[in-house]
Amino acid sequence: MNHPELQHKAFLILLVAISAAFLFVVSPFAGAIFWAVVLAIVFEPLHARLLRSMGARRTLAALATLLACVVMVILPLTLIAGTLVQQGTALYKKVNGGQFDAGLYFEQAVGRLPSWLVNLLDRAGMADLATLQTTVSEAAAQGSRFLAVQAVSIGQNTFDFVVGLGIMLYLLFFMLRDGKILTARIREALPMSRANTDYLLDKFTTVIRATFRGNVIVAAVQGTLGGLLFWFLGINAALLWGVLMALLSLLPAIGAALIWGPVALTMLTTGEVGTGALIVAFGVLVIGLVDNLLRPMLVGKDTRLPDYMVLVSTVGGMALFGLSGFVIGPMVAALFLASWAIFMARRGDLDGDDGVQAPAEQRHT
């Protein structure tokens, strides 16, 4: 005997099972799908302008937007990756060939330390400088090898990169062309009132745009400035260090200083005081100023996330999801706050089709 309620539960179980199976099938390309969604959201304003100028021809406007995305994002990143592989390979050979000796730099630095600092090291139980030198040398060598191997692996995974890039661009075209239709279906599928659905989707798109735009611009500017500084000073693998500064600058406040700080310290302690002082001054007054000025303007203003939450969510996101985490982390944090805002509004004033009312921020917009 078939009961409607039993049939409904059976269908829900089937729906969940099929959805889980589909997610499992496409999981190898989760990164490509995620970045297709991100780029579609980021380039949607440009697509809307092109769509109006082209007489609402959706396919042509989507192709034009896709071409702009390739020229503005894909090609520069591909060229940088190619040069990065070359410099990473050269650094890897130097490390394996013994040309990079961190222990020698450490010995030179210790030889230039003032006597009062040497005495302080003695009291701290760090008098065995030979052992400390060996430890520093091994740690630096392992770190350099790791960075070099990561750069070399980019070239070794060319096939996977090309396949993922092709899938991402293919999906990006359809998301641009049919984005409004897909968004409308998502709104209909979510079991919430229209006001709350719009609020969450708007928060989702706002955070992605602000995070991607702000973090990428800040990272590009800081990495470019740091790389140019290292190139000007004749430091080996300047592009590699510039890219690392760009990646680390995704972490608010501390970012690029994790690269230029140790380099400046090495210069100062090995007798190159002018070079070290220049790196410190440039890092604090120029690279640091970029982070302090641009990031709040481009990220915090739109996301309305506290600085501490941006930092924690970014670090946590990158720890879990790699590079994609700098977008995923703040996005989850923003949706977390938005969901709790809806919950608090529900407790205070029940309203809407599902008994949930959007926060005042959304209701008055």
Can you say how many angstroms the Cα of residue 96 is from the centroid of all Cα atoms in its chain? 30
Name the DSSP class of 236: S
Q: Is residue 133 within 8 Å of 103, Cβ to Cβ?
A: yes
Residue 340: burial class (beta carbons within 10 Å; 0-12, 13-18, 19+): exposed
> What's the half-sphere exposure (Cβ side, CA atoms, 13 Å) at 304?
9
pLDDT at 190: 76
**CA–CA dist 70, 43 (Å, integer):** 11
The pLDDT value given to residue 302: 58
What are 84's two structure tokens? 């990065």
pLDDT at 359: 54
Cα–Cα distance, 27 to 21 (Å, whole number): 10
Q: What is the pLDDT of residue 170?
A: 92
- pLDDT of 127: 47
Q: What is the pLDDT of residue 364?
A: 44
- Tens-place pLDDT, residues 186-215: 878 777 777 878 888 888 888 888 778 777
Q: How far is CA 286 from the centre of its chain?
A: 22
Farthest-apart Cα atoms in the chain, separation: 92
Which of 237, 288, 234 has its CA nearest to residue 261? 288
CB 49 within 8 A of CB 184: no
* C-alpha to C-alpha distance for 359 and 343, rounded to whole angstroms: 9
- pLDDT lower than 50: segments of the chain: 1, 127, 351-358, 363-365
Under 8 Å between Cβ of 162 and 180: no
Spell out the domain ranges in the chain.
29-189, 193-365
Sequence-distant (≥ 6) Cβ neighbours of residue 263 within 8 angstroms: 230, 235, 241, 279
Q: pLDDT tens digit string along 79-120?
A: 776 666 666 666 666 656 655 555 555 555 555 555 655 566
Q: What is the pLDDT of residue 66?
A: 92
| pLDDT given at position 163 | 82
pLDDT at 125: 54
Cα gap 315→24, rounded to integer Å? 26
